[in-house]
Chains A and B, each alone.
Chain A
Amino acid sequence: KAGVTQTPRYLIKTRGQQVTLSCSPISGHRSVSWYQQTPGQGLQFLFEYFSETQRNKGNFPGRFSGRQFSNSRSEMNVSTLELGDSALYLCASSLDGTAAYEQYFGPGTRLTVT
């Protein structure tokens, strides 16, 4: 069974631009969560989608948004990029989105904002 895939793996953007990251969950998984990982803040929860609906949202500004498609693939978008948005963005999928089921993480997308 293929794991969680994230594209692209590396991205360099300029301040003020916007970016879209993609996540393909494991086949059959309906929940997709996104996390931002930085050396200073560690792993912070961005949002979770389940069956195309945002179910949970972390404490991030509205510049961070996401969506999920009917095939469970998910995208996250960051508008008006700031230097502080440089981070590893991790996507995780699970069967039904409850803590009872393991989250499987993708390798991440490394975003650098210059």
Chain B
Amino acid sequence: AQSVTQPDIHITVSEGASLELRCNYSYGATPYLFWYVQSPGQGLQLLLKYFSGDTLVQGIKGFEAEFKRSQSSFNLRKPSVHWSDAAEYFCAVGALGTGNQFYFGTGTSLTVIP
């Protein structure tokens, strides 16, 4: 069965510190992987996506993610967090031929302290 696990429900980091949000997936087909961010009262915004090729992908707002097939992981990273990065982050998986039937993780809430 397809599933996405985000093991960290909540993370607190200091402004300027580095960030890594974990995502593990289980998917039978070749996965398409996504990270979305959701600010309070708003919809989801795509940060980055991985389909194929280079396993390190760059996204918006200085985020990057690395696909590791052997570990079934797609962790999100940022070298220096800004206060405006405080939000909910969701990892999602889809596959070719399934349209937009994505499976989302339960999300990681990020708090940034000054």
Contact = CB atoms under 8 A, between A and B. Distances in A.
A19 interface: no
A107 B42 CA distance: 5
A106 to B, nearest CB: 5
The secondary structure that dominates the A interface is strand
A108 to B, nearest CB: 6
B41 A56 contact: no
Nearest to B103: A45
Contact of A90 (B44, B95, B105): B44
Interface in A86-102: 90, 92, 94, 97-100, 102
B106 interface: yes
A33 B104 contact: no
* A: interface residue count bin: 20 to 34
A45 B105 CA distance: 12
Residue of A45, A92, A102 ringed by the most chain B CB atoms within 10 A: A45
A56 B101 contact: yes
Nearest to B94: A99
Given A100-B51, A102-B46, A107-B41, A42 B107 contact: yes
Given A43-B92, A44-B104, A99-B94, 18 more contacts: A33-B100, A33-B102, A45-B101, A48-B101, A55-B99, A56-B100, A56-B101, A92-B44, A92-B100, A99-B100, A100-B51, A102-B46, A102-B49, A103-B100, A105-B45, A106-B43, A107-B41, A108-B43
Q: Which 3 A-B pairs have the closest CB atoms?
A: A105-B43, A43-B104, A42-B106
